[in-house]
């Protein structure tokens, strides 16, 4: 799994952090838009939703900061490897929910996710 070079943008008013490198699975767990889905709901987004964000090169969390990186996308095989790494990692309880795969974009996928019951509840 390739490393991703990215920069965390802290909350409003603080200077940007340094450029960092992390394996793809750790990087995904640091993107604000996916942290909520992965850590609170334990659900990995489908490839088209993930690529929508990765291709944008940034994820801004408003006044809460965000992250930026050089835009890229994942192939099917890279996505499958990422999913396997996230699902089998004993430090996380992450799964796929293919019922959400029909959502055409991040916004609709995220809204559907919010209608689900968080894990452990």
Over the chain (121 residues), what is each successive 10-residue block's mean pLDDT?
A: 87 76 92 82 92 93 82 96 93 85 88 70 48
The predicted model scores a pTM of: 0.84
Tokens 């944008």 found at: 56
How distant, in Å, are the alpha carbons of 15, 30, 113, 114 from that of 108?
A: 32, 21, 9, 10
Q: What's the maximum distance between 2 C-alpha atoms anywhere in the chain?
A: 40
Residue 95 has a pLDDT of: 86
The backbone region for 43, taken as left when phi is positive above 0, alpha when psi lies in -120 to 50, beta otherwise, is beta
Residue 12 has a pLDDT of: 66
Task: Determine the Cα–Cα distance for residues 41 and 54; give it in Å rounded to an integer.
Answer: 20
Residue 120 has a pLDDT of: 53
Cα end-to-end span (Å), the chain: 33
């Amino acid at each position: 799994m390739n490393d991703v070079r990215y920069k965390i943008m802290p909350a409003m008013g603080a200077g940007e952090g340094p450029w960092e490198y992390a394996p793809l699975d750790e990087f995904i767990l640091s993107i604000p838009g996916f942290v909520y889905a992965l850590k609170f709901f334990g659900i990995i987004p489908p490839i088209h939703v993930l690529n929508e964000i990765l291709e944008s090169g940034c994820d801004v969390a408003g006044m809460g900061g965000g992250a930026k990186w050089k835009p890229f996308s994942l192939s099917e095989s890279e996505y499958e490897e990422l999913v396997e790494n996230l699902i089998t990692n004993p430090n996380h309880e992450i799964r796929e929910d293919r019922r959400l795969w029909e959502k055409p974009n991040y916004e609709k996928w995220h809204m559907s996710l919010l209608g689900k019951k968080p894990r452990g509840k």
